[in-house]
Chain A
Amino acid sequence: MLERIKGVFSKKKKPVEKKLEEDKIPEPEDDLNTSSTSQTFSNSEKRHYQKLCLLLSEPMIDLKKLRSEAWYGIPMCYPQIRSIVWKLLLGYYSPNQEFQESSISRKREEYIDCSRSYFPNLAYSEDLTETNLISEDMSIYEVDSFKQIIIDVKRTHPGEAFSSKISKSMLTRILFVWAFKHPASGYVQGINDLAATFMYIFLAEEIDRINRESEGRKSVDIDLEHNAYDLKLEDVDLIEEEKIQHIEADTYWCLENFLETLQENYTEHQPGVHKIIARTEQIVMKKDKELMEFLEAADYVPSKFVYRWVNNILSREFNVQQLIMIWDKIIAEEEDITTYLPYVCAALLLKFSDCIKSYAERPEEVILLIQDLPTREWGNEDIKVLMAESYQLQCLYEFNSHLEEK
């Protein structure tokens, strides 16, 4: 915690060339100043970016330092930075750069083999329909998850690029393999959004790389107003098949690792979700008893809506760009996500406390507000404030929680 506050980072003079060519991070000096979007990045953002680059260039990456630096957020300008940081912090990439390349190839192969064993002759260009996916030797359980996944992939849409046949095919396979590997939970709706968020980052990274290499376009289009990567449908078609496989495998492993501590969220009756909800309620109760009483009176207690927040790790309450900023913190957080998420949920609810209370005697308005929070209007600053407030709650209640629990 202390490090996070003080922000102590070691500095090195010259970044060592990274091993994996595809993960090469553009030198900050080169690009930040020449890029058409450079004027929008403040000096502090540039410094922050450079610090991350330095940390990533160490032969043995210091995950602790990376964690605390990443906790401040990851600049949008280079999608590959976030991609690498997330992969490292999720334990997918090895911090030891000497072994990184070989371990990544091994993991990717493992996924591809596995995926191939389920779908021996499925091309990316093929339509994913029940007829070409469901075979006779599948159990009812498998067939049911298949059908559900096919329905949900069609309506998973964090950006235009997800309308492409290729991305749908990738997402479908990822979810199938995950469901098969986790029979205790199987596929649960909501996991589609989680996988799509990882895929969005990795697609952005690759499209950005292609655009940088080809002349003319400098980088992936960044929609400055919303600060989102504007991934075009046709961009996905530019990616080579081998890269597509890598992105698919990387998405799978990040999803796998991300959900490792969240298994209980998706098993029968979802006990993990209920625990996080209960903890959220406790925190709100301590901070704003009046709000809790108000919600009870409106017959709309947090368990009725925090359910979706937790089940989808907030992916329904924010657009993908806002979500990424929130996940930066969730992934960089030292505590595991089940400990941290209740603070974020509580902070989010508390943000609307005054508004909710202004609807005295109008329970319907309360429900309509909460089920469709006006976060669309939020800018990056609002997200930062939300995360700072979550952290504040955490400081307030977690670090002396043993004192409170009688």
Chain B
Amino acid sequence: MADPEYDYLLKIILIGDAGVGKTFLLSRYINEELPRKKGPTIGVEFATKSICLANGGVVKAQIWDTAGTERFKAITSAHYRKSVGALVVYDVTVRDTFLHVKKWLDELREHGEPGIVVTLVGNKVDLVKDDPSLRQVTTEEAQKFATKNDLLFEESSAIEDINVKLIFENLLQKVYDVKSSEFTDEKYNEKKKRLVYQDPSKPQSKDSSSCCN
């Protein structure tokens, strides 16, 4: 297995209310299965993956899954720094979790990097497929909100593996596209250093979980 060099190391965070399914989505994406140990995330958890993007380019994603609870905010918000992308997740069957998205965006604005790319994710669509009356947030409403706030948007299910790969990789693609276009403008190398978070100890390390070979 050849270890590919990646173009960028991208730091992504997962935020949203407790219980919306952030940890499930991440586990589904990284391990292609549901988490072995279930339970609320205490603090933050980390995962990494190298991805060959559909439109070209290789990125290594460092994904930080945070606890949704207010109580652990002090630990989690420290991780917003240097993130270039965020997935803000809500539960399509719990309206409050959607109403809180605004609050999460404010958090990002306060602690995150300017220009961070954000995807809004309505999780647990499998539930409304079986019983449409459970839906508390319509796709149209969420889409409208996303457009207004300049967010990408998708509905997903970690349990039935609907759109999981898509939400992560569309976000990464967009971050990649934004970064590369910025770089081609002027002084490519200098900007690259400034805009993309690089692993300080080893900026261009090789990765063992290769995706393209």
> A interface vs B, CB < 8 Å?
148, 151-152, 155-157, 188-190, 192-193, 269-270, 297-299, 304-305, 307-308, 311-312, 316, 361-364, 367-368, 371
B57 within 8 A of A: no
B40 within 8 A of A: yes
B42 within 8 A of A: yes
Interface flags, B184-213, vs A, CB<8A=1, else 0 = 000000000000000111100100000000
Q: Report the minimum CB–CB distance from B136 to chain A (whole Å).
A: 12
Q: Which residues of A contact B75 (CB under 8 A)?
A: 304, 307
Q: Report the minimum CB–CB distance from A271 to chain B (whole Å).
A: 12
B77 within 8 A of A: no
Report the bound CA distance from A151 to B124 in whole Å: 14
> B interface vs A, CB < 8 Å?
18-19, 37-40, 42-48, 62, 67, 69, 71-72, 74-75, 199-202, 205
Report the bound CA distance from A316 to B36 in whole Å: 11
Question: A189 to B201, Cβ gap below 8 A?
Answer: no
Among B44, B69, B74, B200, contact of A189 (Cβ-Cβ < 8 Å): B69
Question: B18 to A151, Cβ gap below 8 A?
Answer: yes
Among B40, B45, B71, contact of A152 (Cβ-Cβ < 8 Å): B40
Q: Which residues of A contact B71 (CB under 8 A)?
A: 188-189, 270
Across chains A and B, which 8 residue pairs bring their CB atoms closest together, nearest first?
Answer: A151-B19, A308-B42, A189-B40, A155-B38, A367-B46, A307-B43, A155-B39, A311-B42
Q: Which residues of B contact A298 (CB under 8 A)?
A: 201
Q: Report the minimum CB–CB distance from A387 to chain B (whole Å).
A: 22
Q: Report the minimum CB–CB distance from A186 to chain B (whole Å).
A: 9
Q: Report the minimum CB–CB distance from B43 to chain A (whole Å).
A: 5
Question: B42 to A312, Cβ gap below 8 A?
Answer: yes
Residue of A nearest to B70 (CB): A144
Residue of A nearest to B64 (CB): A367
Question: B67 to A371, Cβ gap below 8 A?
Answer: no
Q: Which of A308, A311, A362, A364 has the most CB of B within 10 A?
A: A364
Question: A189 to B18, Cβ gap below 8 A?
Answer: yes
Residue of B nearest to A268 (CB): B71
Q: Report the minimum CB–CB distance from A366 to chain B (whole Å).
A: 10
25 A-B pairs with CB atoms under 8 Å apart are: A148-B18, A151-B19, A152-B19, A152-B39, A157-B38, A189-B40, A189-B71, A189-B72, A190-B40, A298-B201, A299-B201, A304-B75, A305-B43, A307-B42, A307-B75, A308-B42, A316-B37, A362-B202, A362-B205, A363-B199, A364-B46, A364-B48, A364-B199, A368-B46, A368-B47
Question: B201 to A363, Cβ gap below 8 A?
Answer: yes
Q: Report the minimum CB–CB distance from A177 to chain B (whole Å).
A: 19
Question: A297 to B201, Cβ gap below 8 A?
Answer: yes
Q: A311-B43, A362-B202 are in contact. List 11 more A-B contacts (CB 8 A).
A: A189-B42, A189-B67, A189-B69, A189-B71, A192-B40, A304-B44, A307-B42, A311-B42, A361-B205, A368-B47, A371-B46
